[in-house]
Structure 1
Amino acid sequence: MTGENLLGVPPTLLNPDGVEEALAASANPGVSPGGPELEALARQFPTSSLAWALLSDRAFEAGEILPSYAYARVGYHRGLDALRKGGWRGHGPVPWSHEPNRGVLRSLYALRRGAEAIGETDEVVRLTEFLNGADPTAAAAIEKPSSAASERL
């Protein structure tokens, strides 16, 4: 797959939600924020998919599968709200290369990861199709370790 838009649907490009800027202003370069900081971030930006995706990642890394799944579910729904507000109509590209889209894509990825961990096979298939339809490069970009903080976001 080449990643080109064969549907002719314009890509959805979300507006920044402030989380990236808050992370850049408060964190040490290259260091992810910890527990209380992430929780404060989610309270400050409750509509941000990125804040919920980061909470999901932290919980998953700690072996807390159900909380991780729950955080990802919130991020997923916040992401659907943001996509619809951004003009998305249920299909079409949501490019990873546009940094404000990354929270939604990370939430999709985290929800798929959580669904897989609890054995919810049908949801894994549906979320894989959704993620690949949004941007076929997103999952690989999320999985790729990076030393640059902006790439982790």
Structure 2
Amino acid sequence: MTSFGDLMGPQPVRLPGDEEAESELLNHADPEQVAARYPAASIAWAALAERALDNEQFVTAYAFARTGYHRGLDQLRRHGWKGFGPVPWSHEGNQGFLRAVGALARAAKGIGEDEENARCLDLLEDCDPRAAQELGLG
């Protein structure tokens, strides 16, 4: 049984994370510089998107979040994810991707792209029902 209660479902994916990028962000490095140094790190793009959202720059946030989302999808696929199955919020290495998806949902809502907002919220729910709540979207 997976930790999400599905006997037949795939095992949860636990990404290794981007330790260097995460460390720099925790030490208050500029997310733009972190993204430039670690362009594959979803966490850096999520931080950029969240900063843009804080300033109500929805189009900019959308672009940053979309980049983080795609970088996260690449990493998930390399770790066996087939487009469905658990991606637990509780595992820190997954939080960059999940934060990017959450930021994409917020940015999409900010520009009136309701279908994209709904798709992102559905993806968060599919990955881990706790994620949307942790991101203030639930």
TM-score, length-normalised on structure 2?
A: 0.90
CA shift in 2, pair 1:89/1:40, >3 Å: same
Q: How does 1:2-151 map to 2 (within 5 A)?
A: 4-6=4-6, 7-18=8-19, 19-24=21-26, 27=27, 33=28, 37-143=30-136
Where does the alignment leave 5 or more consecutive residues of structure 2 unmatched?
Answer: none
RMSD of aligned residue pairs (Cα, Å): 1.7
Amino acid at match of 2:9: G
2: CA distance, partners of 1:23 / 1:128: 25
Distance 2:118 2:45 in 1: 22
Structure 1 residue 8: Cα displacement: 2.1
Determine the C-alpha separation between the residues in 2 that align with 1:5 and 1:42: 36
1:126, CA displacement in angstroms?
A: 1.2
- Structure 1 segments, 4+ long, off by >4 Å, are none
SS in structure 1 at match of 2:129:
coil
Residues 95-153 of structure 1: CA distance to partner in whole angstroms, max 9, x if unpaired? 00000000000000000111111111111121111110000001111229xxxxxxxxx
Quote the offset at 1:68 in angstroms: 0.7
SS at match of 2:43: helix
CA offset digits 1:79-105 (Å, max 9, x no partner): 110110111011000000000000000
How many residues align structurally?
A: 133
Q: Look up the equivalent residue of 1:82 and give its one-letter code.
A: Q
Contact 1:5/1:93 (<8 A) preserved: no
Query: With structure 1 as the length reference, what TM-score do the two structures score?
Result: 0.81
